[in-house]
Structure 1
Amino acid sequence: MAYILNIETATKNCSVTLANEGKTVVCIEVAEEGYSHAEKLHVFFEEALQEAGITFQDLKAVAVSQGPGSYTGLRIGVSAAKGLCYSLNIPLIAVDTLEALARKIIIENGIIVPMIDARRMEVFTAFFDKNYSKTRETKAEIINETTYSELSETMHLVGDGAMKCKDVLRSEKFVYHDEIIFPSSNEMGLMSFEKYKKSDFVDVAYFEPFYLKDFVMTTKAKS
């Protein structure tokens, strides 16, 4: 058995999945406005293992969503994952956040366009085909009326970033899947197991999340 603990904290969704050889055993998640990841994450670890009837020592690896996404959320998830890997002496696996989001939908044709909100009219996005192979690199992209105008294929938009594009991207080629808002650790199970079988690990000491943009601290203007 290959139990892998999967951690997704790149958005408002705090999500933990325990998977065995790529199949979900337990999935615990909650999406809240206040980004309560730091308070809930370790509780979710304990609950998932308890529900599955195993201990931390039964884990073969820990997988973490690498980004792009929330700077704070990614830091919390990666720090927790590294702590587990250090203490248990097991490998760390990094999983593409946008691919995990794309895997929440099944299509027959067209392009999957996962979008994570990056504030204002900017999104973190990439293109994936129906087999979830990335066909365009990850970008931080500002959306306007001409975005993707050069493309004729059907484009399936998912994620909280897609929700704010409805008033701008109105062509019939854009199909919005409103029920898919955040990436989840549930889709990470198969992805992380495939990497585990290939020993596709990252360095626990030096791995950093894929922020895509520099962190900018905002302060209120003085009155």
Structure 2
Amino acid sequence: MSLILNIESAIDGCSVAVSDEGRLVFHEEDQSTHNNAVSLGLLVDNALAFIDSHGMKLDAVAVSEGPGSYTGLRIGVSMAKGVCYGRGLKLIAVPTLKLLCVRLLLTEELPDDALLCPMIDARRMEVYSALYDRALKPVREIRADIVDRETYLEYLEKHPVWFLGNGSAKCRDVIDHPAAHFIEDVMPEARWMFPLAEQSFNRGEFRDVAYFEPYYLKDFIAVKPKKQV
């Protein structure tokens, strides 16, 4: 079994959680700020203080690997690496789109043939998305979609599809299909990482702390601010 520190900062806000043998024992979040560098550092310090004060021995750090915000992912991975280096721990990467599905799978009853389509908002009508079955086996790979009515039609004609995440709201009117279901308030949170992190730990699926990079999916493009008149 394992004691894992889970770190999430892929979109807006950030959160941390500690799981002990697949059971959540600590969770804190800060969704009120965009300054993840400061907020996440405080949350990680609180989590480590909890671990140390209870005489626990940390085995690994799990981090939400992306896709998502370039800055948020970079901060989260840097923080996770720092803890791994400082305490000699293993590093686990949790795919952010799979993470979005966990809460729904643990709290809702879905039909056997249901598909899940987690969506992370990119820009305009673009989202980062993938399709999974109820066992979180990939049905379609992760990609950046510019969403129109045809984008997911082949799946909607055969399955009920649950679209979830902060990218799903802008797609509701465009997709407009009777088999489409939308859950817009689902965000990636550290407290839902533990099933995926525990699974990776038990399988020995660890990342190289020195060379691991977030899964950005697309290269970062800097936008120059408009000049103020």
- TM-score, normalised to structure 1, is 0.93
Instruction: Confirm or deny that 1:183 pairs with 2:188.
Output: yes
How far did residue 145 of structure 1 move? 2.2
- RMSD in angstroms over aligned alpha carbons? 1.6
Q: Which residue in the other structure is 1:103 paired with?
A: 102
How far did residue 51 of structure 1 move? 4.2
Instruction: Confirm or deny that 1:202 pairs with 2:201.
Output: no
Aligned pairs for 1:99-178 (under 5 A) are 99-106=98-105, 107-108=110-111, 109-151=113-155, 152=157, 153-178=159-184
Sequence identity (%): 41
Secondary structure, counterpart of 2:223 in structure 1? coil
Unaligned runs of 5+ residues in structure 2 are none
1:97-152: CA deviation from partner (whole Å, max 9, x where unpaired): 10000112132231100000011110010011112222211001110122212231
How far did residue 186 of structure 1 move? 1.4
Asked if 1 retains the 8 angstrom alpha-carbon contact of 2:166 and 2:185, the reply is no
1:184-223: CA deviation from partner (whole Å, max 9, x where unpaired): 1112112111111222110011000000000000002446
Asked if 2 retains the 8 angstrom alpha-carbon contact of 1:14 and 1:36, the reply is no
Q: Which runs of 4+ in 1 moved over 4 A?
A: none
Distance 1:65 1:160 in 2: 16
Distance 1:81 1:54 in 2: 21
Q: Which residue in the other structure is 1:90 paired with?
A: 89
Secondary structure, counterpart of 2:27 in structure 1? strand
Decide which moves more: 206-215 or 107-116.
107-116
The amino acid across from 2:220 in the alignment is F
Distance 1:179 1:9 in 2: 16
Aligned pairs for 1:56-71 (under 5 A) are 58-71=57-70
Instruction: Confirm or deny that 1:193 pairs with 2:198.
Output: yes
Task: Tell me which protein shows more helix as a share of its residues.
Answer: 2
Unaligned runs of 5+ residues in structure 1 are none
Asked if 2 retains the 8 angstrom alpha-carbon contact of 1:61 and 1:92, the reply is yes
